[in-house]
């Protein structure tokens, strides 16, 4: 992993990734100051084929210096195996200020990550990667994808996945696939990001789904509108009671690191301590 990507990984937050169409430059700055952890200008699904060239021009002229927005800057390019994706790579090679993160859609193998890294090797500014798994083949290869160089997190694009396998977009039908994404993320020691909640008006449903994926272990969710940011952050945040208990567990183990400790009358072993440590680290990053 390059130096810049390693620095990003240490403080990387991906609770919310707000997508804005690359064809709408009037919305770029609002997205970058929306409060989302990552604001992503989207050259892929959000832009019709006939508008992609104009959208690339918007992107080439836009990405601001890092100190002019609160969110990390991301760009979702088109699938690397497509002509549009190759044109997007040429754009990245040629433009000045570059995004902090490139989101790679429909990734099906680790070789695609290697290929992108090799193409970007001449670029002085290093770029972190967030591949999206959106197919059965991608899911099968998710362990290798997540473990590839410069990958900061792995995302699940469940709409395309459901279309391929013939499943409906429901909690039960996607539980197994989400579990595979989480396994890959844990194996690579990175975060897992869930796909978007498509009903923009149903904020209660969004909150519930976010709480469900957080309980599984996801650390982020794609959002399609700024109004979805707060419910996602709320759904991914542990309760104050949970945080305080985690801090007590960590402190108790520091005071007695030799083995099992007792916190609030309950025995606590090493796996519970490790989970508490991860929770405290996550909260302190926010």
How far apart are the C-alpha atoms of 163 and 158, rounded to whole Å?
A: 8
Strands (E), 127-232: 128-133, 153-156, 191-194, 220-223
| Helix 240-255 × helix 270-285 angle, to 10° | 120
Cα dihedral: 247, 253, 259, 260 (round 10): -40
194 catalytic per annotation: no
Q: What is the rounded CA–CA span in Å between residue 257 and residue 220?
A: 32
Task: For residue 22, give every residue at least 6 positions away whose Cβ sits within 8 Å of its Cβ, in sequence order, or none.
Answer: 41, 42, 43, 46, 47, 55, 56, 58, 59, 75
Catalytic residue, from 67, 194, 199, 269: name it. Answer: 269
How, if at all, do strands 38-42 and 16-21 pair?
parallel
Mind telling me the catalytic residues?
A: 269
């Amino acid at each position: 992993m390059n130096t810049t990507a390693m620095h990003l990984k240490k403080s990387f937050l991906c609770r919310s990734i707000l997508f804005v169409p690359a064809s709408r430059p009037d919305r770029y700055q609002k997205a970058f100051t929306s409060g989302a952890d990552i604001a992503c200008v989207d050259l892929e699904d959000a832009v019709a084929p006939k508008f992609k060239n104009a959208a690339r021009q918007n992107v080439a002229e836009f990405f601001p210096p890092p100190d002019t927005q609160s969110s990390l800057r991301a760009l979702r390019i088109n699938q690397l195996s497509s002509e549009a994706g190759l044109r997007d790579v040429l754009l990245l090679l040629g433009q000045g200020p570059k995004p902090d993160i490139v989101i790679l859609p429909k990734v099906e193998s680790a070789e695609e990550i290697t290929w992108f890294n090799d193409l970007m090797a001449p670029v002085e500014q290093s770029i972190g990667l967030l591949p999206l798994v959106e197919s059965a083949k991608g899911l099968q290869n998710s362990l290798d994808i997540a473990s590839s160089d410069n990958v900061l997190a792995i995302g699940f694009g469940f709409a395309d996945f459901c279309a391929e396998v013939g499943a409906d977009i429901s909690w039960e039908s996607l539980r197994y696939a989400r579990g595979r994404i989480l396994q890959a993320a844990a194996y690579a020691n990175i975060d897992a990001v869930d796909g978007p909640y498509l009903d923009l008006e149903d904020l209660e449903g969004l909150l519930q789904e976010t709480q469900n994926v957080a309980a599984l272990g996801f650390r982020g969710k794609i959002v399609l509108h700024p109004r979805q940011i707060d419910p996602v952050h709320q759904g991914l945040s542990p309760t104050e009671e949970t945080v305080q208990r985690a801090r007590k567990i960590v402190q108790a183990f520091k005071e007695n690191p030799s083995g099992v400790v007792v916190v609030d009358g309950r025995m606590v072993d090493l796996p519970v301590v490790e989970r508490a440590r991860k929770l405290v680290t996550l909260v302190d990053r926010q």
